[in-house]
Structure 1
Amino acid sequence: MFQSFESTSDPSAGPGRLARLRDHLRAEGLAGFLVPRADVHQGEYVAARDERLQWLTGFTGSAGFAILLPDVAGVFIDGRYRVQVKHQVDLSAFTPVPWPEVKPGPWIAEHLAEGVLGFDPWLHSADEIARLTAALEGHAVTLRPVANAVDAIWPDQPAPPMGAAFAHPVSLAGESSTAKRDRLSATLRRDGQSAAIITLPDSLCWLLNLRGADVPRNPILHGFAILRDDGTVDAFIAPAKLGEAARRALDAGIRLHPVEDFAAALKSLSGKVRVDRATAPLAVQHLIEEGGATVAWGDDPCRLPKAAKNEAEVQGMREAHLRDGAAMAEFLCWLSEAAPKGGLTEIDVVTALEGHRRATNHLHDISFDTICGAGPNGAIMHYRVTQETNRPVGLNELLLVDSGAQYADGTTDITRTMAVGDPGDEARDCYTRVLQGLIAISRARFPRGIAGRDLDALARFPLWVAGQDFDHGTGHGVGAFLSVHEGPQRISRISEVPLEPGMILSNEPGYYREGAFGIRLENLIVVQVAPELGDKRDQLCFETLTFTPFDRSLIRADRLSPDERAWLDAYHAEVLARIGPRLSAPALAWLQAACAPL
């Protein structure tokens, strides 16, 4: 099993660790300290060594941060984690703070009259510290870059990850590293910049056509790079990660250095150096300026090219989703027979699903720990089942399963919510509204230049008219055999990045009722040029990549419009045509019934 079911959260340890941290801060003359979820690469996914927020507080979510002051320790969490955090931290020591509704600057000013607040400059971006500094202007609180205070009191902190790197073939990447670097370096020369700093692991992997194993579930490699304006690159990667085969895959324009040499290399730069203000650690800016070069703020040059997949990457994602769709059909066929008999638990479901993906003989890893929430556990948006929380799959309730896989040709992420028995009309009504939101995004046509924020309301409108909503974005970007959460594209109220052909996103509206049930439905979609219609305006649309039926027993067909019904029937017909030939006889019979017209 890739997934384990051990609990990684220990709320009972939090108060003692917090007390030791406060003792350390007093000795250093600090009134408080910032503890982000991020590591030095500012990525969402972190290695065990960098799980400082989890180690200190017990909170295991993929986003959030803590601000530790003498009299209060705030754990800032967004809407996805409002339920989860209450189960994972000791509420006598830590205070959950709803973020971004509550901003850190005003919160600090309210709880700290004066003093110095420490932060690790390798764990915060320049943008983040600038915003916080501005918010504290006029208050007697100052920010100071310091050595990491959590590391100072963490006696058994794990060693840095040393996962083996391996080549990602051009046949799947669709473009050589040399061609990518030539393309990007031309933009540096155009802008009069001598170099660009690469700190995001997925950018490093994309640029060098490498993959790695430095964090769970995502095949990324930790390291840094300096892309020069002549198309060469200095890559700073621990030598132990690069075996002979990986080194042979690198061309002559890639110079390798130990990761410890990165700081000195930053100080040796000259001219204008592009740094991404939103993703690069603040320490990068300090080191470049210390050496006399000029920081030119600009986007990581890899992010948009990486997000706009080429045809080889899109075709790989299509094939990965067909393979994964067959595994899902075999799993759902099994579940439809096993669940009504009783005796299943959430762990049983997770184990069975991974088994069906393993049976493809192409599974590299799962793309994240499967979220399998039975009944009220489905309302915990990023719930991870453990031996302690493992719940039976009960009769007459909903079962939410959010899962994905990493294959060499693509990354998948799919959510389906199923009925076990009869969960009642209220559950069906809510399910149908969520499905209507997914269909609305799937059918969308829109002009070039439209961003995710312009589409987000389409998925919410059916819920809004019923006085309901969901507290997460409608969709995140997805990498091609890379991170299952990829920026900068997303479908969200705060996303200003225009969507471009080749961008892959999730389409996942939901509805959650704490203590009762959760509903989420998710397909992956890819932005395409729309066929010409009407006055032949330049428009884009979405191609659906995911092929798995929706639970017919939960659909209120009388609530769907004719266009919605037509989309759903056409989608199910395509699922049957594409997935059916890949299935065993029992699964094919199940799929034929699941995909019958409404």
Structure 2
Amino acid sequence: MSFQDFDEEGAGGDHAARLSALRDQLRKDDLDGFFVPRADAHQGEYVAEADARLAWLTGFTGSAGFAIVTMDKAGVFIDGRYRVQVKSQIDLDHFTPEPWPETKPADWLQQALPDGGRIGFDPWLHTRREIEALDQALKDSGISLIAVDHNPVDLIWSDRPAPPVGAARIHDAEFAGESAIQKRARLAEELRKADEAAAFLSLPDSISWLLNIRGTDIARNPVVQAFAILLDDGHVTLFADPAKFDASLRDHLGDQVTILPPHALAAALTDLQGPVRLDPGSAPEAAFRILEATGTEIARGPDPVVLPKAIKNEAELRGMRDAHRRDGVAMVNLLAWLDAQDPESLTEIDVVRKLEDYRIAQGITDISFDTIMGSGPNGAIVHYRVSTRSNRRLSRDDMLLIDSGGQYPDGTTDITRTLPLGTPPEGSVAPFTAVLRGLIAISRARFPTGVAGAHIDALARQYLWSLGLDYDHGTGHGVGAALCVHEGPIRISRVSDVTLEPGMILSNEPGYYREGAFGIRLENLIVVTKAPAETGRKMLGFETLTLCPIDTRAIDKNAMSRDEIDWLNSYHARLREELLPLIDAESQDWLHRATAPLD
């Protein structure tokens, strides 16, 4: 049994020919250009093969980005995580990488089309907020945004895969901690208080959480791809392929949940009585247009599920702690095994497979994302995915970055460890220590209620900044409970304004990347908790969920404070207490050595 394959992503196909075919179709449609987003109609980070339009057209397989194609230019817009990866995946003779968000789409378009033009977009693949912002930025430019009825990429994609029809399943009430009936009633009451008749739900993880179901439509993400309408009486109409739901699942959903095929969505929206809540940040532009065409009142507001889902209840937290304990066993077994090997006898793929075996032994149902196993320069590719072509043999001169996770029935894990396979590479000790100090700073943070992720992001970066270094990704993302490993709306980043509340789970993952040499990232999952305060002010802090040693061989102890060393020693002591009874004698010996206290 194996979850991860090592095929070359984005390698197949003649992307130049596809680009040419798209331009031919745009001429037929009287368009001067077209947006090709990474997102699907659900705004998912991970998409089904049928929705991988950006990868099919350009070869770029990152989890974020988009392309804009005109008759003589084709820009692939990528953020800091993908600026190394994109250059190895796209045909640079036909596509140009564009740093985003530094390069704004509106600015790029005005340079590409100085005399104006008609730029098409698929309204099912863009949110209202996205289209409004772009439309405003293009004001007085002579460039018009044209919503298309048929996506031109789909028209030329002759062998496009069919949409997924993965079987849905019940998510055990023991792990959910609240019945679907209770959830529907709770959120329906919120709608009534807001004088809203219904809410349109487009995020599969919101729908899966609300109905206590899980699915297999999207690899690594146990969600059911669907749309839904929640009425103010608690009734839900679910728009998904009925073949996904067997008799037992239909019984679980009950008679207050109606299942209709996806093509029935537009008519159902047309029949709604308002006000209908739509989230401008996640609902498709097309849904807004359907309601506006019928004159139905729209109440712009957040998806009513995302915040309740982000605040885990006691059962969800218990499941996450249990899952992380089992995942800690798998990681300790992997690191103990790796330490006993001659690294130069192994490749990156060998280590990925071994880690997967250890996780399977602990009961995973899937991995939570494709394992990032980056040795040497591959570690500097933030979202590196090893393939048979990129696979490197390990070296004693390498740093090895392992970013991985598992989907368990009761929880989702995500952990990164970086370790030298011999002597730490030249120039790696100072940034490694700075990254570790940043992780510890977040772990030890105490802050008043009302603080958001943007307020604490700098805590993780301060030690890198003092060295003139930084990293081009957020410090942390929200994590679902037996759901998606990347979950909104919370983040630790410079732009996150969502207030942190007890029960929210985030990653804590500062890093540093030296292109062509090595990458460093350390990641634990943390949960927001109430913290004691002497002044009476309500304070919060973090509990660390991840249980795995942090390699100490690349640490400059002289650069660390006594409090930081004490935190690391205490964390390692906790690992010994929780994991030693669960691992074999060989791994026990390794764990004792790996967690020996620093002086």
TM-score by length of 2: 0.98
Tell me what 1:115 maps to: 117
One-letter code aligned to 1:525: I
Displacement of 1:289 in angstroms is: 1.9
Tell me what 2:189 maps to: 186
Tell me what 1:594 maps to: 594
Tell me what 1:403 maps to: 404
Q: Secondary structure at the match of 2:7?
A: coil
User: In 2, distance between residues paired with 1:380 and 1:256?
Assistant: 43
1:572 matched to 2:575? The reply is no
Displacement of 1:534 in angstroms is: 2.1
How is 1:11-160 mapped onto 2 (pairs within 5 angstroms)?
A: 13-113=14-114, 114-146=116-148, 147-160=150-163
1:300 matched to 2:310? The reply is no
Tell me what 1:476 maps to: 477
1:287 matched to 2:290? The reply is yes
Tell me what 1:254 maps to: 257
Tell me what 2:542 maps to: 542
Question: Once the two structures are superposed, what CA deviation does each residue of 1:117-168 show, in whole Å capped at 9, x if it has no partner?
Answer: 0000000000000000000001111001111111010010000000000000
Displacement of 1:429 in angstroms is: 1.5
Displacement of 1:517 in angstroms is: 0.3
Question: Once the two structures are superposed, what CA deviation does each residue of 1:187-221 show, in whole Å capped at 9, x if it has no partner?
Answer: 11111110000000000000100000011111011
Q: Secondary structure at the match of 2:428?
A: helix
User: In 2, distance between residues paired with 1:164 and 1:48?
Assistant: 17
Tell me what 1:237 maps to: 240
CA contact (8 A) 2:399 2:425 kept: no
Tell me what 1:558 maps to: 558
Question: Once the two structures are superposed, what CA deviation does each residue of 1:499-557 show, in whole Å capped at 9, x if it has no partner?
Answer: 11111000000000000000000000000111x23212101100000010011111111
One-letter code aligned to 1:445: R
CA contact (8 A) 2:412 2:479 kept: yes
TM-score by length of 1: 0.98
Q: Secondary structure at the match of 2:420?
A: strand
- Alignment gaps of 5+ in structure 1: none
One-letter code aligned to 1:501: P
User: In 2, distance between residues paired with 1:431 and 1:576?
Assistant: 23
One-letter code aligned to 1:250: L
Question: Once the two structures are superposed, what CA deviation does each residue of 1:261-309 show, in whole Å capped at 9, x if it has no partner?
Answer: 1110000011200000000000001111223311110000000000011
Tell me what 1:352 maps to: 354
User: In 1, distance between residues paired with 2:126 and 2:450?
Assistant: 30
Tell me what 2:517 maps to: 516
User: In 2, distance between residues paired with 1:594 and 1:290?
Assistant: 64
Question: Once the two structures are superposed, what CA deviation does each residue of 1:405-449 show, in whole Å capped at 9, x if it has no partner?
Answer: 000100000000011110245212211110000000000011111
CA contact (8 A) 1:80 1:381 kept: yes
User: In 2, distance between residues paired with 1:339 and 1:175?
Assistant: 49
How is 1:182-581 mapped onto 2 (pairs within 5 angstroms)?
A: 182-340=185-343, 342-360=344-362, 362-424=363-425, 426-530=427-531, 532-581=532-581
User: In 2, distance between residues paired with 1:587 and 1:503?
Assistant: 32
CA contact (8 A) 2:533 2:539 kept: no
User: In 2, distance between residues paired with 1:2 and 1:99?
Assistant: 32
CA contact (8 A) 1:269 1:291 kept: no
User: In 2, distance between residues paired with 1:235 and 1:167?
Assistant: 15
Q: Deviating runs (4+, > 3 A) in structure 1?
A: none
CA contact (8 A) 2:123 2:286 kept: yes
Displacement of 1:494 in angstroms is: 0.6
User: Number of residue pairs matched?
Assistant: 595
User: In 2, distance between residues paired with 1:82 and 1:280?
Assistant: 29
User: In 2, distance between residues paired with 1:42 and 1:559?
Assistant: 43
Q: Secondary structure at the match of 2:340?
A: helix
Question: Once the two structures are superposed, what CA deviation does each residue of 1:306-359 show, in whole Å capped at 9, x if it has no partner?
Answer: 00111100110000000000010000000101144x210000010010011011
CA contact (8 A) 2:310 2:488 kept: yes
Tell me what 1:584 maps to: 584
Alignment RMSD (CA, Å): 0.9
- Alignment gaps of 5+ in structure 2: none
Q: Secondary structure at the match of 2:263?
A: helix
One-letter code aligned to 2:285: L
When residues 478 and 560 of structure 1 are mapped into structure 2, their CA distance, relative to the original with a 3 A threshold, is same
